[in-house]
Amino acid sequence: MASKSRQKTFCDKSTNSYFVFFALIAWVVWLAVVAGLVSKDVPKKQDGSVDFEKAKQIRLGLVILSPVVAVLVLLLGGCITWVHEGSFKPWKKYDRNLANTLIVLLTAVAVLPALYWKLWYPERTREVIILERDRVTEEYFPSITLLQQDDWSSQADLDDSSPPKCFIGRYDEQLPDCGTVFPGSPCKCHNRWGGEVIDYEWQNSTYRTITLTPSESMISRQPAGLMIAQAFFNYNSTKARINASQLLPPSLWVAIYDPRLPLEEALYANYSQMRLINANGLIHINIRLNSREVPGRSAAYDYDLSLSSIPAMDIQCDVSAPGGARSPCILSLYLQYPNFERLSAKQEIAMSWGDLLSEAGSWFALFQLLGWILSGAAWHKSPKATLPTSSSGNSIALLPIP
C-alpha cells in the first residue's frame, strides 16, 4: 500500500521556515523603528531655528537603536528555532535564495542608518534658497506707512487736520475716484489713506502712523506707471535744536510693503524695513519685485527699493518761527516699477522626503545586486528539464489527462 506523501508545512523541521520567519520579523521591526525616528521632522526651537542637539539625539537613536532591535529579534528567532529543533541549525542545506535575502536585509540594517547619519539627515536640516526669474504683465501698488517717532523731536509732526492725498497716473484733483474706473486707469485715491493718525508700538518705541492701503483697482499696467502719495506735517525747529543740540531737516520713517500683509507682520517677518527719509521734499522710489517664501508662510513681496530725493528750499511749516507756520509742509512720494521682472526666492529643506526615499531605494537596489552576487545566485544555473525516454531512446510525449 502506497504511503501518503507528507506535505511540508510551515513548521516542518526540514525547512528553514523558522529562521526565515524571524529574519523577516527582525527586518519589519527594524523598518518600524527607522520609520518612527525618521518621521520626526527637523526639530526646531521656539525661534524657528534648527535644534541641532535634538537632531543629533534622533540620529544617534537611529544608528544605535534600530540595528540593536533587529539583532535582538533575530536572536529571539534563533532561540525559538533551537527550542523547537533541539539544536541551532538555521540552514539544513545551503539555500542561495535564502542567503541572498539575508545578505540584502542585514546589509540594509547595517548601512542605511550610517547613510542617514552621515548623508541624509544633514541635508534634512540644511535650508537652501531657490531663485527663479519671471515677468508679470501688471502689478498692484504697495502699501505705505509713514511713522513719526514720538521721542525724537527732529521728526516731522504729522498733521491730523490736513487730509493726505493719493493719485494714480498723474497729479490731478479732477480725476475720478479709483473705485469708479477701470483698474489701472488714472484716478485719485485719497480715501485709501487711513482716516486718522494712530499710535503704533514697535521695538520699544512709540510711533504716530498713517497708512495708505491700495485697492484692487490701483495697479500699474505698464512699467513706469506712477503712484503719487502726499502727506502733510508741521515742524518745531526750536524744540528740535534744544533736544538734539543741532538742527536737522524734518524726517519721517517710511515702510513700503506688500498690501496683502499688515504692517506688523511685514516688519516682524522682515518683508519690509523702516527707512529714514527727509520729509520736507519729494522722494522718488523705484520698486523692484522680489517675492520671498519661507517655510510656514505664504509668498509675499520683499520689495527692493531705490530712493532719491529733492529737498524743499525752505521750511514753511515751522511753528516756532516768528509769525508761526505759513502752511503745512508737504511730503511727496513718487512710486514706480521700472520694469515687471520678478525675482522669486523660495526657502526650503535641501532634501525632501521624496529625495530621501529615492536615494534609499537606489542603495537598496545596490544591496540586492550585492546579495545576488555574494550568495552565488548569479552563478547558479538551473538544471534543464528533460523528457522521459523509452527503452528505444525516443522521447515520450506527455499528453494531458482529460
Residue 167 belongs to some domain of the structure = yes
Give me the chain's average pLDDT, please.
Answer: 80
Assess contact for 335 and 142: CB atoms under 8 A. Answer: yes
Measuring CA to CA, how many Å separate 220 from each of 168, 181, 336? 9, 14, 8
Mark whether 296 and 340 lie in a shared domain. Answer: yes
Does residue 102 sit in the same domain as residue 148? Answer: no
pLDDT digit string (tens) for 122-137?
Answer: 888 888 889 999 999 9
252 and 108 belong to one structural domain: no
158 pLDDT exceeds 50?
yes
* Rounded-to-integer distance, Cα 370 and Cα 101, Å: 11
Say if 364 falls within a structural domain.
yes
Total number of domains constituting the chain: 2
Instruction: Please check whether residues 79 and 182 belong to one and the same domain.
Output: no
Q: Residue 15: which pLDDT band, with cuts at 50, 70 and 90?
A: very low
Residue that wins the pLDDT comparison between 153 and 110: 153
Tell me, yes or no, whether 107 and 163 share the same domain.
no
Q: What is the CATH number of the domain that holds 324?
A: 2.60.470
- Residue 323: how many CB atoms within 10 A of its CB? 6
- According to DSSP, the residues that pair with 235 across neighbouring strands are 318
* pTM more than 0.85: no
Cell of 291: 517675492
> What local confidence, expressed as pLDDT, does residue 8 receive?
43
Domain of 160, in residue numbers: 134-347
Closest C-alpha among 240, 241, 331, 246 to residue 283: 331
d(CA 221, CA 141): 10
Residues 146 and 244 in one domain: yes
The answer on 357 and 223 residing in a single domain is no
Alpha helices by DSSP H, listed for 217-295, are: 237-244, 263-268
For 380-402, what is the mean pLDDT?
Answer: 55
- Looking at the structure, tell me whether residues 342 and 358 fall in a common domain: no
239 and 169 inside one domain: yes
Where among 311, 331, 347 does a domain terminate? 347
SS3 label, residue 145: strand
Mean pLDDT confidence for 206-222: 94
pLDDT at 11: 42
pLDDT greater than 90 at residue 307: yes
Q: Please indicate, yes or no, whether residues 241 and 369 belong to a single structural domain of this protein.
A: no
87 and 219 co-located in one domain: no
Q: Is a pLDDT exceeding 80 seen at residue 383? A: no
Secondary element (H or E) of residue 44: none
Q: How far is it, in rounded angstroms, from Cα 30 to Cα 104?
A: 14
